[in-house]
Structure 1
Amino acid sequence: MKIYPIEAGNFKLDGGAMFGVVPKSIWNKTNPADSNNMIDIAATCLLIEDGDRLTLIDTGMGDKQNEKFFGYYYLWGDDSIDKSLKKHGFTRDDVTDVFMTHLHFDHCGGSIQWNKDRSGYEPAFKNATFWSNKEHWQWATQPNAREKASFLKENILPMEESGQLKFIERQGGAYQENSELDFGILFVDGHTDKQMIPHIKYQGKTLVFTADLLPTAGHIPLPFVMGYDTRPLLTLPEKKTFLETAAKEDFYLFLEHDAHNKVIKVKQTEKGVRLDEVYTFNEIFN
């Protein structure tokens, strides 16, 4: 098995929304804001090469939305999935599986693209199976008013219409080893219903793709919960259990949304779990 970080693009989000009730005077120390109160956000995906299987975890925003839409997110840098795949010797057509932690637009938008004449949409990975789970799919396709703007039908419905969609079957319990893919999955519900957090055994280590359970290193303290979370009081115990396990089991945490701290480890302290070490991907895995 080999794993590669895939840069799907960078953007900015409102720092207040990203840290909920935490004052700016505190979160600005770890995630400094610009003059518009926006902080740097990445969309870094993971590509797992295992034999003839090539699995991509999340796909970023994609590029099919209009200029007005992208104007809200202050895109920066020149990273893209295609450039990043090419860097590692792959193309979209090589991808056999696309695993989506959840179906918010910044995690799955790159899964679907315009067709040639821009009359409709088609899978951006024509040879891939798209993986979600039934409970989250229902949550996303029948969205509540609070999340409706994050669940865009053009990102989601074409997966099912193409016949390329499959569901992970939850077997009971928050964590399960998965026979369909190359990693274990932790199900969490605080951010959105049935978000899936991959736990990958690699080079004798456990690498966890934290998605929106832990967006950035600045979100490690328990009260630092995103305003986007639908059930923040559920995020608290989910994050507490996860971070305590990560510290105890010596997990490496891959931060999808942190533009400046890509892989971290945490440790238990008198004040709770805190940041221990920060690494580049290549410092730990080669």
Structure 2
Amino acid sequence: MNELIPIHAGHFSCDGGALFSVIPKPLWSRVYPADENNVTRLTMRCLLVKQGDRNILIEAGVGNHYPEKVRQNNGHEETDVLAQSLQQQGLSTDDITDVVFTHLHWDHCNGAVLKEGGRLQLVFPNATHWCSQRQWEHVPQASVREQAAFYPEILNFLKNEGNLQLVEQEGELFPGFSVRLFDGHTPGQLIPLVESDGKTYVYTADLIPTTAHIPIVWLASYDLYPVTAMEEKASFLKEVAEKNYILFFEHDYYTECATVEWTAKGPKLKESFPFRI
């Protein structure tokens, strides 16, 4: 049986216009707040899946690879909050056996590597790291629009030193832990579906960044292929509603989990709530 535990990896900020793309601020600001500078607050909420001797961590946060200006612009600090969060669960970074990256953007995987004394080192030295083959092959071909989201030095270090395994297709990765592939945000985004206590939890990553992004046309400007993203979201959220999956949000600062209902106008937030064991 899978035991699920939210793991905090820090917070960061995002321009509201970037987070909600073409949706007018008078609409999105009703459901997701922004400050006087139009800045929204986001979080990096990893998910620990414990199954016997295996400790699987979904995502790894940002790490410590950035100059002060970058940290200020993105509203995050260099901290060891991820390690501290694991320690609160009685685990060290050495205890993590697997790290699953939904994709390879900086805020999802860079925290699996730290820079100490000018040298890179693995945060989870005993772990196998996982991402999709489609995403890995996409990185060197990324357009100028997306290139800044990837850090090739870190990714190559993970490939060479972190036992990085490439997932070729959808299906079960571990017992009760399967993955789906989505291409609208970035090619080959892996979305984990994890079974626990008779329920299915969906780790939404950037497929659905916040509860405010549940409506089909509410996309972030970071989605490379908006039409594909809308089609993928519509199809998947219909399944989520029909099968009563629980959405677990990586980036929603205010909401950990939610359920969805399907209406004549498409998917709609049914209930939002804190994660419950």
1:258 to 233, 241, 252: 252
1:197 to 191, 195, 206: 191
Change (3 A) 1:78 1:240: same
Matching residue's letter, 1:214: I
Residue 208 of structure 2 aligns to a residue whose secondary structure is coil
Residues 58 and 99, structure 2, Cα contact 8 Å, conserved in 1: yes
Mapped partners of 1:181, 1:145: distance in 2 = 38
| Paired position in structure 1 for 2:136 | 137
Matching residue's letter, 1:132: C
Mapped partners of 1:164, 1:193: distance in 2 = 22
Unaligned ranges ≥5, structure 1: 171-175
Matching residue's letter, 1:235: A
Mapped partners of 2:132, 2:77: distance in 1 = 32
Write out per-residue CA displacement over residues 188-235 of structure 1, whole angstroms, 9 at most, x where no aligned residue.
000000100000011000000000000000011111011011000100
| Paired position in structure 2 for 1:167 | 166
Matching residue's letter, 2:167: I
| Paired position in structure 1 for 2:221 | 227
CA shift for structure 1 position 76:
7.5
Change (3 A) 1:145 1:67: same
Between 1:266-275 and 1:213-222, the stretch displaced more is 266-275
Mapped partners of 1:247, 1:182: distance in 2 = 20
Residues 63 and 78, structure 2, Cα contact 8 Å, conserved in 1: no
Mapped partners of 2:222, 2:209: distance in 1 = 11
Residues 121 and 154, structure 1, Cα contact 8 Å, conserved in 2: no
Residues 141 and 151, structure 1, Cα contact 8 Å, conserved in 2: no
Mapped partners of 2:66, 2:197: distance in 1 = 38
Residues 18 and 222, structure 2, Cα contact 8 Å, conserved in 1: yes
TM-score by length of 2: 0.95
CA shift for structure 1 position 271:
2.5
Between 1:62-71 and 1:206-215, the stretch displaced more is 62-71
| Paired position in structure 2 for 1:207 | 201
Change (3 A) 1:222 1:244: same
CA shift for structure 1 position 182:
4.5
Matching residue's letter, 2:156: L
Residues 136 and 194, structure 1, Cα contact 8 Å, conserved in 2: yes
1:271 to 242, 265, 277: 265
Mapped partners of 1:232, 1:129: distance in 2 = 32
Residues 64 and 115, structure 2, Cα contact 8 Å, conserved in 1: no
Residues 102 and 195, structure 1, Cα contact 8 Å, conserved in 2: yes
CA shift for structure 1 position 143:
2.3
Change (3 A) 1:208 1:54: same
Mapped partners of 1:190, 1:156: distance in 2 = 21
Alignment partner of 1:177 is 2:171: yes
Matching residue's letter, 1:84: S
Unaligned ranges ≥5, structure 2: none
